[in-house]
Structure 1
Amino acid sequence: MKGKALYISRGGILTALSFMLVYISTVIPTSRLTVLALTSLIVPIAILTTNIKTSLVIYIATSVISLMFLGLRGNVLLYILLFGIYGLIKLFIEKFKNLPLEIFLKLVYFNCVLLVLWLSASLFTDVTGIKLPEIPYIIPIAFVVMQFIFIVFDYALTQGINYFLNKIYDKIKFRN
């Protein structure tokens, strides 16, 4: 029973931390994506300190709470589609232990998210009547740049997880 209580308490703390970061990303004027990127560390930390089931509950709870209190904003949508769940997706993809395949699968996932975000933005502009400026070649250039940024983000997330494992995990005694 001690294990379940421990997982529930850690899950509650990590859910609160995730929601706090999502909330902060909606109210600060700058560095919104940086704060959202920090939320990507929560699920891997939960996987390391609890289990996959608790990590999934943290992601779902944070998503629902964010939708309830913040509404369907861009930052909340980014958390739900990309930053919140990516730690779990990264875990399953990296089990292949084949770097080219891993990079390919991660980019496929990222591009699916981009497509959903693009369709959502298109729907929003159609509903509101807002016309986005049309700049020649901007979409293909932005697409290529975003691929590079995503690879850098994935590497930074790996480094953040390694930092947690090497510098924090043993010192705080997260052992069950």
Structure 2
Amino acid sequence: MTVSKKITLGGILSATVLILLYLASTLPTSRLFLLALCSFAVSAVIIETGVKNGIIFYLATSILAFLLVPGKSMAALYILFFGIYGIAKAIIEKHGIGILQYIIKLVIFNLSFLMIYLASGIIIDISDLELKVPFPAWVIVAGLQFAFLFYDYVFTIVITFYYDHIHHDRR
């Protein structure tokens, strides 16, 4: 892929990510779905141009998201998990082995979730919220683990589809 095609791809996908983040911050529903689409864009850049360009893409879209997207919570979710996960997944699956891949992915997810939780305490005072959750915290955390594994499974399906139907090997 030529340099101009890489720049064009990065520009188009950056605009797409920013539009999706804007929609996620303004629409009342489908926020997680829109955030997941943003993470797929990062993976498309990695597939087409490599991990190094994927990292540059993630950094650029993260800065732009923080500066341009109203509702900083969606930008924070992109920066702390959804944007970076495509990079982490590519690296882990390239070098990881079997079950160790899932352990590393779960560690990354839980660290990201912890950072999101701590960041949300900075943005809003959590103690002021009166959340009435009918489940103990451990049930919610366990449910999040399964939700993440499902997300990772769907992510793998999307990447496989991209390789099979969109990406053309340019060797």
Match of 2:165 among 154, 164, 167: 167
1:128-167 maps to which residues of 2 (within 5 A)?
Answer: 130-133=128-131, 135=133, 137-167=135-165
**Change over 3 Å in CA distance of 1:135–1:160 after alignment to 2:** closer
The aligned residue for residue 72 of structure 2 is 73
The aligned residue for residue 42 of structure 1 is 41
Q: For the residues of structure 2 that align with 1:121 and 1:138, how far apart are their CA atoms? A: 20
Paired AA for residue 28 in structure 1 = L
Using the TM superposition, give the Cα deviation of residue 125 of structure 1 relative to its aligned residue in structure 2, in angstroms.
4.2
Paired AA for residue 86 in structure 1 = Y
CA deviations on 1:26-74 (whole Å, 9 max, x unpaired) are 1111111011111111111111111222211211111111111125622
**Structure 2 residue 89 is the aligned partner of structure 1 residue 94:** no
Paired AA for residue 45 in structure 1 = A
> Scaled by the length of structure 2, what TM-score is found?
0.90
CA deviations on 1:104-141 (whole Å, 9 max, x unpaired) are 00000000011112222333443x86233364743211
The aligned residue for residue 32 of structure 1 is 31
What is the CA RMSD across the aligned residues, in angstroms?
A: 2.1
> Scaled by the length of structure 1, what TM-score is found?
0.87
Q: For the residues of structure 2 that align with 1:61 and 1:106, how far apart are their CA atoms? A: 24
CA deviations on 1:79-108 (whole Å, 9 max, x unpaired) are 001111111100111123422100000000
Q: Which moved more, 1:18-27 or 1:71-80?
A: 71-80
Q: Report if the CA contact (8 A) 1:14-1:42 is conserved.
A: yes
Paired AA for residue 175 in structure 1 = R
3-state secondary structure, aligned to 1:85? helix
Q: For the residues of structure 2 that align with 1:72 and 1:34, how far apart are their CA atoms? A: 17
**Structure 2 residue 51 is the aligned partner of structure 1 residue 56:** no
**Change over 3 Å in CA distance of 1:10–1:135 after alignment to 2:** closer
Q: How many residues align?
A: 171
Q: Unaligned 5+ residue runs, structure 2?
A: none
Q: For the residues of structure 2 that align with 1:28 and 1:81, how far apart are their CA atoms? A: 21
Identical counterparts, % of pairs: 33
Q: For the residues of structure 1 that align with 2:123 and 2:68, how far apart are their CA atoms? A: 21
Q: Report if the CA contact (8 A) 2:42-2:86 is conserved.
A: yes
Using the TM superposition, give the Cα deviation of residue 11 of structure 1 relative to its aligned residue in structure 2, in angstroms.
1.1
Q: Report if the CA contact (8 A) 1:81-1:113 is conserved.
A: yes
Q: Unaligned 5+ residue runs, structure 1?
A: none
